[in-house]
Amino acid sequence: MEEQAAVSAADIARIAGVGRAAVSNWRRRYGDFPPPVGGTASSPLFSLVGVENWLRERGKPFEISLGDRVWQRLRNLGDDLSLGDRVGRVATFLSRRGAEEWTFSPRYDDAELLELLDRFAGERGAREALEFLCERYVEAHSRQLSVTPEPVAALMARLIGPDPGVVLDPACGLGTLLLASGGTRLLGQVDDMTTSCIAAHRLLLAGADMEMYGAGALLSDSFEGLLADAVVCDPPFNEREWGYDELVGDPRWEYGQPPRGEPELAWVQHCLAHVKPGGLVAIRMPPAAAGRRTGRRIRGNLLRAGALRAVVTVGGADLWLLRRPEPGERPPSRLLLLADPSTVEEQWRDHLRGAEVPGAVRIIDLLDEEIDLSPARYQARNEHAGEAFLEVRRHFEGIRPELPSLAVSGGKAAFTTIGELLKSGVLTVPETVEEGDVLASPAVPAYVHNGASFAAEPTMSKYRVDPERLDAAFLAGCLRAAGALAPTSSTRIDLRRTRIPRLPIEAQRAHGEAFTRLAAFEDALREAAESGLELVRLGLAGLTEGQLKPEN
């Protein structure tokens, strides 16, 4: 089996018990590292046997677990385009294992794989075995598969409440949100038969009472007319072909026809159409959906009806928390807007009960020309701007930018270059960074490292000086001035041509001290600017909200 197996850099890192950066370093440093045998330039694959032999020759510890052997066998039975089908097939095997006789198919099954899989499930359990393979599958197709992060899924589950009953996810992917929800009956739909197969068997192996369909919910609603107790959803963002033309006038659009460029608002209304009156919806949305002008009318209608109850920023996206209004129910007067999710659970429960909570904004104040529901926009209203203003002001007043004393020089400097210094041995490029080395990168101006040794990223330029002939702070200042921040691997010729003044070592040290003080001056100016802008923001908020007043 191993002779056929090919592994990715991530697989090698797991086998050897190192980080992925270490594998990249091995490939650069060692000419005899096994070459790629497949994959792409950005995601190469390597011979498993070749990697094992290479690690063994260098005495590097490695161990291939039974689970990884199953995964490598599964992955190498065909191309990555059909990998999902193979995962679905083994998911079916695992969910039926021990319950009924498996009908072996020479076309779809591999005897060695099933033997390994049976052993793996015997050791770990069928459910854990499938979860392991799903993790590897998601990792291998991270660009194609969008999976809700587990902490976000767990939070969404808690926000719809304990014991939610029947839970629907109309864009369920691999079933992550449904598994987290704790519902007594789980209903899922996803627009891909392979994905729906894997999701269904994940739910079955978890012991769920479930129903799953492989079709797109907006255009082919498999649960038409059904009302769940709660709905969770992490829909695909920015879909172009979501059914705008086919769904004009659809009865689900109770709050308005979703614009062509607002598919997420179609998903919001689909979810509301499938939850009982008084039932909760938690749906993950792109931040732009809270403020795009094209969605203004629908956002306004959701607010006026009392359907949208909270918008919470979580992990680079927003959670919209909705409650389907009950007939004759009086709409709430406030919307909960939170840019920090750390206290959302308690605030959400209190908000639903009608209590006054921090972060609740009057809906009448939101119904302006924009109806922008972005939590960050209202963050200043949710904090005590007065106390924060005083704290930031104390910090601002403690910033003391100090310029070095510099005088005009009438002389002309002679120059050498980085390339000449490297040739002469005054300057070297170290493999690992140690205290006193000079570092620079495209994102960070040159500086002298002061700390423990470490392995620098490939994007870092690194130099080690002969301290008797070249001052490190002087070199860092020259690189900072020249803006020579590109990595050595991509623009080596430019770095070699960077000019360095020819100065005696004492003059270099004096220049190095001046460069260091200029860098500190720049940092202080930047800190003062950032604190100053924060003071303006807090001052405006504090005066507006009555938390600050003029002293005169």
Specify the DSSP class assigned to residue 454. Answer: B
Q: What predicted TM-score, i.e. pTM, was given to this entire model?
A: 0.66
What six digits make up the tokens of 76? 């190498």
Residue 540's Cβ-side half-sphere holds a number of Cα atoms within 13 Å equal to 8
Neighbour-count burial for 466-505, b at 16+ CB within 10 Å, e otherwise: eeeebbbbbbbbbbbebebbbbbeeeeeebbebbbeebee
- Each residue's pLDDT, cut to its tens digit, for the chain (552 residues) gives 444 578 888 888 877 878 878 888 898 888 889 998 887 777 788 888 888 889 888 887 677 889 988 998 898 888 878 899 999 999 999 988 766 666 666 666 888 899 999 999 999 999 999 999 999 999 888 767 888 999 999 999 999 999 899 999 999 999 999 999 999 999 999 999 999 999 999 999 999 999 999 999 999 999 999 999 999 999 998 888 899 999 999 999 999 999 999 999 999 999 999 999 999 999 999 999 999 999 999 999 999 999 999 999 998 899 999 999 998 888 999 999 998 888 899 999 999 999 888 888 889 889 988 999 999 887 645 456 787 788 788 888 888 888 989 999 877 889 999 999 999 999 999 888 888 999 876 556 788 988 777 666 555 788 999 999 999 999 999 988 886 444 443 334 366 788 899 999 999 999 999 999 998 888 888 778 877 887 887 888 788 878 889 987
474, 512 contact by CB (below 8 A): yes
Structural domains for the chain? 6-140 (no CATH), 150-382 (3.40.50.150), 415-502 (no CATH)
Residue with the two structure tokens 């960050």: 376
Integer Cα distance of 515 and 475 in angstroms: 9
The CA angle 111-115-119, to the nearest 5 degrees, is 170
Residue with the two structure tokens 């991530």: 10
Integer Cα distance of 527 and 486 in angstroms: 25
Kindly give, in sequence order, each residue whose CB lies less than 8 Å from that of residue 267, ignoring residues fewer than 6 positions away. Answer: 170, 171, 218, 233, 235, 283
What six digits make up the tokens of 105? 């198919």
E strand residue ranges, 222-377: 228-233, 275-285, 308-314, 317-323, 334-338, 360-362
For residue 349, CA distances in Å to 269, 354, 366 come to 23, 9, 22
Given strand 44-47, what is the order of strands in its sheet?
A: 6-7, 44-47, 36-39
283, 322 contact by CB (below 8 A): yes
